[in-house]
Structure formats: C-alpha cells, structure tokens
C-alpha cells in the first residue's frame, strides 16, 4: 500500500525546513517515490555533522535527479544543470495565439447584409413591364374628364337657355348647333389633355426606373464598403496572428540558442559532474537496494508484531522509512480489524 503522495511529501518538506527547487518539486510531482528519496537525501544533508557527510548526501540526491530527471542540482541542490536532451520552452504567447487563431478560423465566407435589398431592386429593374398608358385607368385623367364633361354640359345648357330667352322658348336649329358647339369645345379640351398626361406618366415611369437603378447602385456601394470592411478586419486579424506567431518563434529561437550556448559553456561542468554522478548513482543504487531490502524486512516484521498488539515507535518509523503517524494509522486499522474478528482478548 502507498504511504506517500506528492501533497504529503510537500507537507513534510515544509515541516522539515528543507529548500526545494522548482525542478525537484516537478520531479517529485511526476515520481513521488523519487521525491521521497530526494527528501531522505536532503534530510541527511541537513543533519550532517561534517562536510564529508553533506557531500555524500548531495551526491545521493544528484544521483536520483540524474536517473529520474536528467539534471543535477550542483553542490547544494539549488542549481539546475541540464543535459543535451533537455529543453523546456514556455511560450508566453500561447494563449493569445490560440485565441487569435480561433478568431481567424471563425471567419466564414462574407455574407452581404444588403443582398436581399439588392435582389429586390434587381427584380424591379430587370422585371419591369413595358410602358403603357390607359386614360380610363388614370385617376388624373378621370378628374379632368369629369370636370370637362360637367363644364361642357353647363355650357350646352347655358347656350340653350340664352337662345330660348331670345326666341321666347321656341326651339331652333341654331340653338341646338350653338349648344353642341359649346359642349364640343370642352370635349376637345378633354381630348387635348391626354397627350400631356401620357407624357407625364411616361416621365414618371422613366423616373421610377432611374431611381431604382440609382438605389441599386447605392446599395451595391454599401455592400462593397461592407465587403471592404470585412476584408480589412480579416486582414488585421491575420496580421495580428502573424505578429504573435513571429514573436513566439523569435522568443523560442532566442531561448533555444541561449540554451545551446549555455550548454556549450557548461559542457565541461556537465561532463565532469555527470561522470562523477554515474559513480555516485551506482554506489547509491547499491546502498539504496540494501536499505530497501532492510526496510522491507523491517516492515514485514513490524506488520506481524502489530497483528499481535505491538504499538510502533519512532525507532520503527526510522527502520521502515515511514512516518510514525503512518505506522500508528496502520496500527489502529489492524487493531480495529482484529477486534472485529474477535482475535484480541
């Protein structure tokens, strides 16, 4: 069963007063067992009485770092000496780049906001009927017609009345002819107005056609402006994305070149420390294997003793590699289990 998690380990680190670099924390997060081994080595370092003991503890920690993280912590564990397989780049523009890319990909095809109006005007221009004029359906002509008919009838009646007064009310051919002539005058005026009304209707027909064409041109101009604005916004978004990408690439190349330069400058230190670390790691692994075998033996013995009612001590924690609280928790669990089984008196 597992006794240590990353959070538990970090709590022990805080309680112990140890200093942990971000690289050691990252290693412990990825591999808590390796982190626990570093904790043990650091604890040996803090409690060392001599420089030789501190050097040995640091070598132990560096051996773990090399094996599980491909880096060294230097003479006191605070440094970060990397090998040529390690390059880590955190792009500060990553979120902005992703957002701008999403915005760029979100641009669909251009949709003309004036398309419906344009279609309607095109239908009006291309689908208009040929000009025709019918006075019988022209309300203006009908007004003229009623006026001239009324005035013609009045002129006829007035003429007949005048002749009747002169002849004592006796009808005559001259009176009838004069009345018809007076009425025909208005009839002629009624007919004369038709060409003017025809021209007026034709001019209105042409004016409406011209207005539709002008409106179509204006709407198409607005549509063209909308397309230009859409294209400008798309181009601006593309330019912003390109600028972010160039900044990201520049920063990456700068950091990578600096990393290569730093590695070249520190290659002698790296080779020296890692060659020594290989020796330290082999030695540590041998010691660790022996220590682990002893711990496993002690754990099994302690487990048997706790099943017989033995309560663990600090010395047991030291011999097993667990904390006393972890052992006491295990002891309580075993005690409750044995009591439930009726095995304790």
Of 193, 218, 251, the residue at which a domain comes to its end is 251
pLDDT at 258: 77
* Domain shared by 42 and 112, yes or no: no
The reply to whether 236 and 135 lie within a common domain is yes
pLDDT at 63: 85
The reported pLDDT for the residue numbered 343 is: 65
- pLDDT of 345: 40
Residue 1 belongs to some domain of the structure: no
Q: Is residue 213 part of a domain?
A: yes
Whether residue 70 sits in one domain with residue 43: yes
Domain-terminating residue out of 191, 218, 251 = 251
Residues 242 and 125 grouped into a single domain: yes
Domain boundary (219, 251, 283) is at 251
Please tell me whether residues 102 and 119 are part of one structural domain. yes
Residue 287 sits in the same domain as residue 146: no
pLDDT at 39: 93
Which residue range(s) make up the domain with 311?
A: 6-86+266-340
User: Do 228 and 272 reside in the same domain of the chain?
Assistant: no
Residue 71 bridge partners (DSSP): 82
Residue 245 lies in a domain: yes
Residue 261 maps to a domain: no
> What burial class does residue 40 get, using C-beta atoms within 10 Å of its C-beta: 0-12 exposed, 13-18 middle, 19+ buried?
middle
Series of mean pLDDT values for 10-residue runs along the chain (345 residues)? 74 90 90 90 89 86 84 78 66 89 84 83 78 82 77 68 65 67 70 80 80 82 85 87 90 80 54 55 63 84 86 90 88 84 62
Residues 188 and 271 in one domain: no
Tell me, yes or no, whether 178 and 285 share the same domain. no
**Alpha helices (runs of H) in 47-93, residue ranges in sequence order:** 51-69
- Residue 20 in any domain: the answer is yes
Residue-level pLDDT at 10: 92
Q: Do 239 and 171 share a structural domain? A: yes
Helix, strand, or coil (residue 82): strand
Report if residue 345 sits inside a domain: no
101 with 206, same domain?
yes
Does any domain span residue 307?
Answer: yes
- The residue assigned the tokens 């344009």 is 118
In our burial notation (b when 16+ CB lie closer than 10 A, e otherwise), range 46-77 reads eeeeeeeebebbbbbbbbbbbbbbebbbeeeb
Domain count of the fold of the chain: 2
Q: pTM score > 0.75 for this model?
A: no
Residue 256 domain flag: no
Q: Are residues 43 and 180 in the same domain?
A: no
Residue keyed to tokens 């440094």: 79
Separation of CA 160 from chain center: 95
What pLDDT score does 67 carry?
Answer: 81
């Amino acid at each position: 069963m597992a006794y240590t998690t990353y959070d538990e380990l970090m709590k022990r680190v805080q309680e112990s007063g140890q200093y942990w670099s971000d690289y050691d924390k990252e290693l412990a997060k990825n591999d808590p067992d390796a982190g626990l081994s570093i904790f043990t080595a650091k604890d040996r370092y803090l409690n060392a009485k001599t420089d030789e003991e501190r050097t040995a503890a640091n070598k132990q920690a560096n051996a773990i770092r090399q094996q599980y993280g491909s880096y060294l912590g230097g003479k006191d564990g605070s440094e970060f000496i990397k090998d040529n397989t390690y390059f880590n780049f955190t792009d500060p523009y990553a979120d902005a780049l992703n957002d701008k890319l999403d915005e760029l990909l979100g641009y669909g095809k251009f949709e003309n906001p004036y398309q419906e109006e344009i279609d309607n005007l095109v239908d009006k221009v291309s689908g208009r009927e040929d000009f025709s004029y019918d006075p019988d359906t022209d309300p203006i002509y009908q007004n003229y017609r009623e006026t001239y008919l009324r005035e013609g009838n009045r002129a006829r009646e007035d003429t007949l009345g005048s002749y009747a007064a002169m002849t004592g009310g006796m009808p005559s051919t001259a009176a009838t002819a004069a009345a018809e002539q007076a009425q025909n005058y208005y009839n002629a005026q009624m007919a004369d107005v038709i060409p003017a009304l025809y021209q007026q209707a034709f001019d209105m027909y042409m004016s409406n056609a011209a207005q539709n064409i002008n409106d179509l041109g204006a709407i198409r101009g607005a549509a063209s402006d909308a397309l230009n604005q859409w294209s400008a916004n798309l181009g601006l978004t593309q330019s912003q994305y390109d600028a972010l990408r160039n900044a990201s690439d520049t920063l990456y190349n700068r950091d990578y070149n600096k990393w290569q330069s730093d590695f070249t400058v520190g290659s002698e230190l790296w080779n020296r420390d890692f060659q020594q670390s290989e020796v330290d790691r082999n030695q540590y692994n041998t010691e660790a294997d022996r220590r682990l075998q002893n711990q496993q033996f002690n754990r099994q013995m302690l487990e048997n003793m706790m099943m017989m009612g033995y309560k663990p001590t600090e010395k047991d924690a030291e011999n097993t590699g667990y904390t006393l609280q972890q052992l006491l928790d295990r002891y309580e669990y075993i005690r409750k289990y044995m009591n439930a089984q009726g095995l304790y008196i």
